[in-house]
Amino acid sequence: MTQLRLDPHPTFQPAPGPVVLVILDGVGLGPEDEGNAWHLARTPVLDRLMGERVRGRLLASGPAVGLPSPDDLGNSEVGHNALGAGRIFDQGAKLVSQAIASGALFEGETWRWLVWPLAATGKTLHLIGLWSDGNVHSHIDHAYALVEHALATGVTKVRLHLLIDGRDVGETSALDYVEPLEAKIAAWREAGHDVAVASGGGRMIVTMDRYEADWRIVERGWRAHVQGLGRRFGSASEAIRTLRAETPGIIDQNLPPFVIGDDTGPRGPIVDGDAVVFFNFRGDRAIEITRAFETPHGGTIGVGSPAGDFPYFDRGHVPAVRYAGMMQYDGDLGLPRMFLVTPPSIERTVGEYLAQAGIRQLAISETQKFGHVTYFFNGNNSEPFSRELERYVEIPSDRVDFGERPWMKAAEIVDRTLVEIDDFQPHFVRLNLPNGDMVGHTGKLFSSIIAMEAVDLSLGRLLDGLAKRHGTAIVLADHGNCEEMVERDKKTGALIKNADGSYKPRTSHTTNPVPCVIVGPGVDDKAWAGAADAGLSNVAATVLALLGFAAPDDYRASLLAPRGP
């Protein structure tokens, strides 16, 4: 481990109690209208905070968090990376696009390892991933580029396994992405290339679980993608239309698994000798399916893995394939072993600096965001920097539609945080209340209003508890979501209504800035110094200042004004 050092801050003395970073996930600053769940909710605590003098707006999307374009939505992964890193790093979407544009991806060892044997054997290249242009977990342009280059390299058979989005893009926009794909496939096949869709399903039902919240999601994907088991349709568009008709009101992210085939069998199960690319670049929802393909580690390429080494579900025969991720999803665990693009190297996070300075730290959330206050905050590393000085607490999430349980575990997170502060005596605490994001993603406006009221009630209890413990709170969000729960006309900005007069739900993140409020002993009305371009990456230096440390020279500036002698 690199030896790191923090110097005393020239003007700030350590806060008398714990410094607590309170992340209200998915709560941005948007138009105060009928589509804004925060605006419609009763939130007296947040209303009071928004009147504080020590407050501002932070950029939480686009280049401010390392994404390519100002139009790129913020997300929890890059948001927590920026909060922990104190600097801006180019993120997955940008790195992959650059690697494809330069040709570096196709010149790399992993791509050659994947495709050259296929050209010789006639075996299949399988691409699994989120099929949209949301650019949060994946982008269809990346997948198209992989297919085109594979065909040009001599790969004769390609199968696509589509995870339907409806979360980072419009909630019922699947056909906007699938129908052009099917037209492209028809052109490829006319040119003599054997390309087809093999399976699919909604992202919240099939394959893309995270933090081991529900391995059944991964199992459904394994059955469909690998074994070709499941309800069979002639095409992906037929599957989507049929499943929607059978369950009126279902949104894309909740579509059940489907398999493409005919009376003779499935069109593209994964078998020995094939190659598989999971083309998502984001890690949290890619790790479990990667473990399903790669467990146990250390096996010889070309030899299948015995099912008994994997306790989460019965995989049956595990095909001996060459598996790679678009990026490495977990550096600590080395998952996957082979990957196409090197992920951002985020070193010297604020957590690592504090651990080496002897500062006790607490990270806490419920399962859905636990990895964000640990893995992503730590620069895409799962393990604590010091097991003696760091305590990670996970509150198990309910396995339900969060639109039906919008309060989630906010109360339990606050209860446990105050207990841990008294017991562990941490100097720095980071916690995440996921409601604004997880309920916002359901597209249910009323549920999101309740979610914000639950957050507000819990935040009030937390701030009262911190006041009694002389604590300082930095209250902010990692990106926007619940403040825009209705789709807008792209030209006029007006809220869009359905034919029946109801609003058309929006389930995706936003590009809105997020609030940041700092409250605690000694934080006065002259304290805020955040510049117009201040973003999430300015928070780490702010934390250090409140703990009495000067930030490293390459960290972005603190949001607090320097104090006089």
Q: Residue 374's domain is classified under what CATH number?
A: 3.40.720.10
Q: Mark whether 366 and 484 lie in a shared domain.
A: yes
Catalytic residue from among 76, 138, 199, 508: 76
C-alpha–C-alpha distance, residues 441 and 26, integer Å: 9
Nearest to 409 by CA among 426, 431, 378, 428: 431
Across 303-316, average pLDDT: 68
SS3 533: coil
Mean pLDDT confidence for 295-309: 45
Q: Cα(178)–Cα(236) distance, rounded to whole angstroms? A: 7
In a shared domain, residues 396 and 506: yes
**Per-residue model confidence (pLDDT) at position 150:** 98
Asked if the bond preceding 44 is cis, omega within 30° of 0, the reply is no
The conformation of residue 309, written as its DSSP 8-state character, comes to G
Whether the per-residue pLDDT at 304 is higher than 50: the answer is no
| Mean pLDDT score, 41-58 | 93
My answer on whether 429 and 293 are in the same domain is: no
More confident residue, 2 or 289: 289
- Pair 378, 351: CB distance under 8 Å: yes
Q: In which band, very low, low, confident or very high, does the pLDDT at 197 lie, cut at 50, 70 and 90?
A: very high
Q: Average per-residue pLDDT in the chain?
A: 93
Q: Quick check: 552 pLDDT over 60?
A: yes
Region of poorest pLDDT, from 1-5, 194-198, 300-304: 300-304
367 vs 70 pLDDT, higher one: 367
pLDDT more than 90, % of the chain: 81
Instruction: Identify the CA nearest to 164 among candidates 190, 140, 113, 200.
Output: 200
Work out how many domains the chain is built from and give that number: 2
CA-based angle 80:72:323, to the nearest 5? 70
Q: What CATH number did the domain enclosing 329 receive?
A: 3.40.1450.10
Model confidence at 300: pLDDT above 70: no
**Confidence tier at 332 by pLDDT (50, 70, 90):** low
How high is the pLDDT of residue 308?
44
Residue 291: predicted pLDDT:
94
Same domain, 63 and 148: no
Q: Identify the domain boundary among 309, 341, 373.
A: 341
Higher local confidence (pLDDT), 381 or 305: 381
383 shares its domain with 510: yes
- Annotation says 61 is catalytic: no
Q: In one letter, which amino acid is 381? A: N
Would 284 be classed as within a structural domain?
Answer: yes
40 plus 171 within the same structural domain: no
Domain annotation covers residue 97:
no
Which residue has better confidence, 63 or 303? Answer: 63
Residue where a domain stops, chosen among 281, 310, 341:
341
561 falls in which pLDDT band (50, 70, 90)?
Answer: confident
Same domain membership, residue 449 and residue 365: yes
d(CA 437, CA 509): 8
Residue range of the domain that includes 292: 107-341
Residue 303 is predicted with a pLDDT of 35
> For residue range 141-165, what is the model confidence (pLDDT) as tens digits?
999 999 999 999 999 999 999 999 9
Do 80 and 193 fall within a single domain?
no
Q: Are 164 and 251 in contact (CB under 8 A)?
A: no
Mean pLDDT of 406-429: 98
CA distances from 76 to 82, 120, 184, 375 (A): 10, 42, 33, 12
**Domain presence at residue 174:** yes
Rounded to 10 degrees, the C-alpha dihedral 339/478/27/284 comes to 30
Q: How are beta strands 472-476 and 514-519 bridged, if at all?
A: antiparallel
Same domain (yes/no): 78, 212: no
Q: Does residue 10 sit within a domain?
A: no
- Per-residue pLDDT at 220: 98
Q: Do 193 and 67 sit in the same domain of this protein?
A: no
Q: pLDDT tier at 188 (50, 70, 90 boundaries)?
A: very high
123 and 241, same domain (yes or no): yes
pLDDT band for 320, please (50, 70, 90 cuts): very high
Do 72 and 61 meet the contact criterion of CB atoms below 8 Å apart? Answer: yes
| Residue 8 domain-assigned (yes or no) | no
Question: Is 121 part of any domain?
Answer: yes
**Alpha-carbon gap, residue 342 to 380, rounded angstroms:** 12
pLDDT for the residue 163: 98
Q: 70 with 156, same domain?
A: no
What's the mean pLDDT in 473-494?
A: 93
Structure tokens at 158: 């390609």
- Assess if residue 57 is contained within a domain: yes
pLDDT at 184: 98
| Assigned domain for 551 exists | no
How large is the average pLDDT for residues 460-482? Answer: 97
Q: How far apart are CA 522 and CA 35, in angstroms?
A: 37
pLDDT band with cut points at 50, 70 and 90 for residue 103: very high
Closest CA to 474 of 120, 10, 22: 22
415-418-420 Cα angle (round to 5): 105
Residue 91 has pLDDT above 90, yes or no: no
Task: Show the beta-strand stretches assigned E in 477-556.
Answer: 514-519
The average pLDDT across 166-186 equals 96
The structure tokens 């309910």 sit at 398
User: Which amino acid type is present at position 12?
Assistant: F
Over residues 113-129, mean pLDDT: 96
